[in-house]
Structure 1
Amino acid sequence: MRRAFLHWPRTSAELSADAVRVLAALSVIAGAIWWTPTDAGILAFALPATLLPRFLGVRPAFDITYGVTILVAAWSNVLDLYTSIAWWDLAVHFVATGVVAAMLCVLLSRWGVVPWQPETRAMRRVPLLVVPVLALAISALWEMVEWFGHTFISDDIFVAYADTIGDMAVGGLGGVVAGIVIAFVPVGARATVSIGDR
């Protein structure tokens, strides 16, 4: 993983993926200057998440998709898009949960937890099962975080039974779609990255 992280970008796609990470860092600065400390904290929370694909050395298209999705999810909170656009919350839950679950599936494969090689088309059935399960787990964890925030931090955080179940269902569906995609589209490393590189 260390070797993948230190890999020098060689293509325009790899440069674009790194540009998304630079944009994530600039977003934290912008949040601190023009928005509130809470907003800056949300954007800062997204920054390390955008570094994960660099450590895993995934293909640039997947790297860019993941990074942009993370930034859109974070900025949607800062810009109040979740409350101002009726369908936006479900759309972001669908896309973000699926993409994050797919990236976690790659991470687990690197650690040898799941028997799958994302660089190849071998063992396609693994992500078909693992990614939806991860998506549901991520959705449940996120809803617990929202409940905790509503209960112990601020009742401005919206929590309702229908919203919780809807978010989890859509997140799980996003995981199903993401699992199908990465089962048939190689998303793994530019070059094989093994656990020994960590």
Structure 2
Amino acid sequence: MKKNFLRPPSGALEIIADLLRTIGVLSVIGAAIWSTATDAGILALALPALMVPRFIGARAAFDIVYSVTVLVAAWSNVIDLYRTVDNWDLILHFSCTAVLAAMAYLVLVRFAIVADPQAPGSLARTPLVVVPALGLAASAVWEMIEWVGYAFITDEIFVTYQDTIGDMAVGALGAVVAGIVVARVRLERPDARAH
């Protein structure tokens, strides 16, 4: 995985994916200088997520979709899109849960916890079960984090039963779609495990 991370980008799409990681780092620095520590902290939470595709050797197109989604979710918090744009949180719960669940599955493949659905003799239907389960787990953890933030940090975080269940349901739908994609499309570079 270290060799994947240190490997120079190959082609325009991999350069774009690395530029998105650079934007993530610059976003934290910019928020620390020109905004609040809270905004910088929110953006900093996205940084580890932005590095995962590089470590596991995700295909450039998936890396870009994943990184854009993570950055949009983080910046949506900073510029308050969740409150100002109707259903923005549902759009982001769907898309974020989808890409995070797919990436989590790739991490599990990398550590040989689950089989690669693209490998000969593997059951291509495994992601149809595992990816939605990962998405539901991620949705539950996220909703717990929101509740902790509301209960112990600030009451400005919007937390209601209906919102929580709706967010998790939409996230689960995104994870089901991701499971179908993972079962049918190779999301890792073909040479990723050679590194």
For Structure 1 versus Structure 2, the TM-score category normalised by the shorter chain is over 0.9
With over 3 angstroms needed to count, the CA separation of the structure-2 counterparts of 1:67 and 1:119, relative to structure 1, is farther
Q: Distance in 2 between matches of 1:48 and 1:134?
A: 18
- CA RMSD of superposed structures (Å): 1.6
- 1:106-125 equivalence runs, <5 A: 106-117=106-117, 122-125=122-125
Using the TM superposition, give the Cα deviation of residue 123 of structure 1 relative to its aligned residue in structure 2, in angstroms. 2.8
- 2:135 corresponds to which residue? 135
Q: TM-score, normalised by structure 1?
A: 0.94
- 1:57-96 equivalence runs, <5 A: 57-96=57-96
What amino acid is aligned across from residue 96 of structure 2 in structure 1? A
Q: TM-score, normalised by structure 2?
A: 0.95
Q: Distance in 2 between matches of 1:182 and 1:129?
A: 11
Q: Distance in 1 between matches of 2:87 and 2:158?
A: 15
1:30 aligns with 2:30: yes
- 2:54 corresponds to which residue? 54
Runs of at least 5 residues in structure 2 that lack an aligned partner in the other structure: none
Q: What secondary structure sits across from 1:191 in the alignment?
A: coil
Write the deviation string for residues 98-121 of structure 1: whole angstroms up to 9, x where unpaired.
100000000001111112255789
Q: What secondary structure sits across from 1:148 in the alignment?
A: helix
Q: Distance in 2 between matches of 1:83 and 1:148?
A: 19
Q: Tell me, yes or no, if the aligned pair for 1:119 and 1:188 is still in contact at 8 Å.
A: no
- 2:180 corresponds to which residue? 180
How many residues are treated as equivalent by the alignment? Answer: 195
What amino acid is aligned across from residue 107 of structure 2 in structure 1? L
- 2:98 corresponds to which residue? 98
Q: Distance in 1 between matches of 2:175 and 2:169?
A: 10
Sequence identity (%) = 54
With over 3 angstroms needed to count, the CA separation of the structure-2 counterparts of 1:3 and 1:35, relative to structure 1, is same
Query: Which 4+ runs in 1 deviate beyond 3 A?
Result: 117-122
Q: Distance in 1 between matches of 2:79 and 2:120?
A: 39
Runs of at least 5 residues in structure 1 that lack an aligned partner in the other structure: none
